[in-house]
Amino acid sequence: MAGRSEHGPDGGRDPWDWWRGTDELWRWGARVREIWLDDLADDTGRRATRQRRIAALLGHARENSAFYRTHYRHLPAGCTDLRVCPPVTRAQLMANFDGWVTDAQLRRHELETFVRDPSRVAEPYLGNYAVWTSSGTTGVPGIYVQDPDALAIYAALLTTRFEFGPMLGDPWQMPAAAGRMALVAATGGHFAGVVWWERQRRLHPLLAAHTRVFSILQPLDVLVSQLNDWQPAFVGSYPTMLALLAGEQCEGRLGIRPRTVWSGGEALTAADRAAIADGFACPVVEDYGASECMQIAFGCRHGRLHLNDDWVELEPVDARGQPVPPGQPSDTVLLTNLANRVQPVIRYDLGDSVTVDATPCPCGQRRPSVRVQGRRDDVLVLDGAGGRGVRLLPLAVETVIEEEAGVHRFQLIQTARNALRLRVDAPGARRRAVAGRRAVRALARFLEAQGVERVDLTLDDCLPQANPVSGKLRRVRALPATAASGR
């Protein structure tokens, strides 16, 4: 079957994983050296390196991607000016997937079969590639293929740019680190963070004894018990989950002593950063990434996100696609990933609103920094047994609806303390009704497993409503605080 790697008779690790791990080590070392040299270069040298990478990516895309040859057909031959290249969207790229990728062996229908099987998470596709998926606020599922060089660059950026403690991207330091690591994330699918984590465990078996993945889909009290048993020195998760865990720590139900907490996947507010840091009494490390590019920006000790602008080009633009000046929030942002050649991401409409901060950072980092808005839905609070509040993470709810019901564009709205209204989008009234009923059943099972009692869950005939200004879809919306408290 296309894409399947050979496994030993016991169904364990691929016997070639040891070779892939060694190959990754060499690639990682070479990229670390490149990053160190770029950090030492002056601004003129940095700009020249970045422009060479942009020119090389554009030339590679036009030569090897049928989609980009057509998309750039009106551009002059040899064009190296990124700003004149027409932007792209996820829907556009996914509709032209087989022509977008630069390896003719990659076919969308075969990759869709691969990612439907959760048992194949982190399995090297065609023996060479990492594959993960994403849906997000567009409602268009994305499949992302990462080549070995891109993966080595992501790992090298993690290793060299973060300031606090051993990082997940530095697998060769992990076995020597005293303590365990925990990733608390959405599981059951080929999600970027889980694929990355499991891939490191697979290629570097010494990590397996030090690392574990914990699912956000289980009840909070079960997760707390598991973390108490594991006692991690490093915890990585989403801001919404870390805030919940910090509350459990403050109330004495969770008793762990991490040296570092990593936050990613959602926007981290200043209030949440302070609450998480106080709750765990340790630094909070933040990054900014996406399925299209894992390492867009890295956090410093002063709470700013600095762009990895040696490998990423980020263009904040207004609603007309025109650049916005520093200090002004963008309507969206165009992302160019200079690392991945097998699936070129060039001036990709990421959908985030970002603000460039041009002021010097007290950390001394010369790379520009950004503030990111959006990318965050609401935590739901419903009543469980005895009126006990049950907190539900938006990413957990979204994972259940996407993975179990196969619905990617939806909106769940809390209308009363234990009342939810679900809107789904699918072509045609009949398909929408079938998809809606399937999503309601999956959500009802999840709510019951979480201990929610007597919930009024209804299917709304209306379509999901995006923000009329930003065009973004908030997929999980909680009651306002005053309504939830009954005031």
Q: Per-residue pLDDT tens for 239-275? A: 989 999 999 999 999 999 999 999 988 888 888 899 9
* Residue 409 CB partners (closer than 8 Å, separation 6+): 138, 139, 140, 424, 425, 426, 464, 473
Phi and psi torsions of 109, nearest 5°: -65, -35
Q: What is the pLDDT of residue 11?
A: 39
Q: Please state, in angstroms and rounded to a whole number, the distance separating the CA atoms of residues 345 and 336.
A: 5
Residues 63 and 211 in one domain: yes
Q: Which of 122, 65, 121, 72 is nearest to 97 (CA)?
A: 65
- Assess if residue 3 is contained within a domain: no
What is the C-alpha to C-alpha distance for residues 213 and 192, in angstroms, rounded to an integer? 13
Task: For residues 101-129, give the mean pLDDT.
Answer: 94
Examine residue 62 and state whether it is found in any structural domain, yes or no.
yes
Q: How does pLDDT run across 399-448, given as a tens digit for each residue?
A: 889 888 888 889 999 999 999 999 998 888 888 889 999 999 999 999 99
In a domain, 8, yes or no: no
Rg of the chain over Cα atoms, rounded to whole angstroms, equals: 22
Rounded Cα distance between 254 and 222, Å, is 11
Q: Are residues 176 and 264 in the same domain?
A: yes
Question: Do 440 and 422 meet the contact criterion of CB atoms below 8 Å apart?
Answer: yes
User: What torsion do the CA atoms of 157, 161, 166, 168 make, to the nearest 10 degrees?
Assistant: -30
In the predicted model, is pLDDT for residue 136 greater than 70? no
338, 373, 408 — which closes off a domain?
A: 373
> Which residue stretches of 65-130 are H helix?
66-71, 90-95, 97-100, 108-115
Q: Following DSSP, what letter does each residue of 129-182 receive, concatenated?
A: BEEEEE-GGG---EEEEE-HHHHHHHHHHHHHH--SS--TT-TTTGGGSSSEEE
pLDDT score at 37: 94
Q: What's the one-letter identity of residue 382?
A: L
| CATH number of the domain to which 216 belongs | 3.40.50.12780
In a domain, 100, yes or no: yes
Task: Express each pLDDT in 13-71 by its tens digit.
Answer: 566 666 676 778 888 999 999 999 999 999 999 999 999 999 999 999 999 999 999 99
- CB-CB contact of 86 with 71 (8 Å): yes
Ranges 86-95, 232-241, 265-274, 327-336: which has the least confidence: 265-274
More confident call, 1 vs 361: 361
* Residues near 92 by beta carbon (within 8 Å), at least 6 away in sequence: none
Q: Are 295 and 152 in contact (CB under 8 A)?
A: no
Q: Which pLDDT score, from 0 to 100, does residue 429 have?
A: 85
Residues 342, 472, single domain; the answer is no
The pLDDT of residue 138 is 57
Distance (Å, whole) CA 221 – CA 217: 12
- Measured from the Cβ of residue 317, the count of other Cβ atoms closer than 10 Å reads 18
Could you tell me if 309 and 50 are in contact, meaning their C-beta atoms sit under 8 angstroms apart?
Answer: yes
Gap between the Cα atoms of 448 and 265, Å rounded: 26
Return the bridge partners of 336, or none.
313
Q: Is residue 9 part of a domain?
A: no
Determine the residue type at 430: R
- pLDDT number for residue 182: 95
Query: Residue 374 — pLDDT band, cuts 50, 70, 90?
Result: low
- pLDDT tens-digit profile of 293-329? 999 999 988 889 999 999 999 999 998 999 999 999 9
Count of beta carbons in the 10 Å neighbourhood of residue 164: 17
Together in a domain, 368 and 454:
no
- The total of structural domains in the chain comes to 2
391 and 366, same domain (yes or no): no
Is residue 408 domain-shared with residue 354, that is, in the same domain?
no
Torsion, Cα of 444, 450, 455, 459 (10° steps)? -30
Residue 252 structure tokens: 């004495």
pLDDT band at 469 (very low <50, low <70, confident <90, very high): low
Write down which residue in 373, 402, 426 finishes a domain: 373
Examine the domain organization and report whether 224 and 260 are in the same domain. Answer: yes
**156-166 pLDDT tens trace:** 998 898 764 44
* 11 lies in some domain: no
Please check whether residues 113 and 30 belong to one and the same domain: yes
In this structure, are strands 180-185 and 232-237 parallel, antiparallel, or unpaired? parallel
Question: Is 388 in the same domain as 366?
Answer: no
pLDDT band for position 467 (cuts 50, 70, 90): low
Q: Are residues 197 and 212 in the same domain?
A: yes
pLDDT, tens only, 167-185: 444 444 444 445 799 999 9
Same domain, 111 and 176: yes
Q: Would you say residue 10 has pLDDT above 60? A: no
For residue 387, being part of any structural domain is answered with yes
Q: Which residues pair with 184 in a beta bridge?
A: 214
Q: Is residue 12 part of a domain?
A: no
Residue 96 CA from chain centroid, whole number? 23
Of 373, 395, 412, at which residue does a domain stop? Answer: 373
**Can you give the pLDDT at residue 134?**
85
| 84 and 147 housed in the same domain | yes
Q: Which domain holds residue 130?
A: 17-373
The beta-carbon contacts of 103-112 under 8 Å, at least 24 apart in sequence, are: 103/145, 103/342, 105/2, 106/145, 106/342, 107/2, 108/143, 110/2, 110/3, 111/3, 111/143, 111/145, 112/143
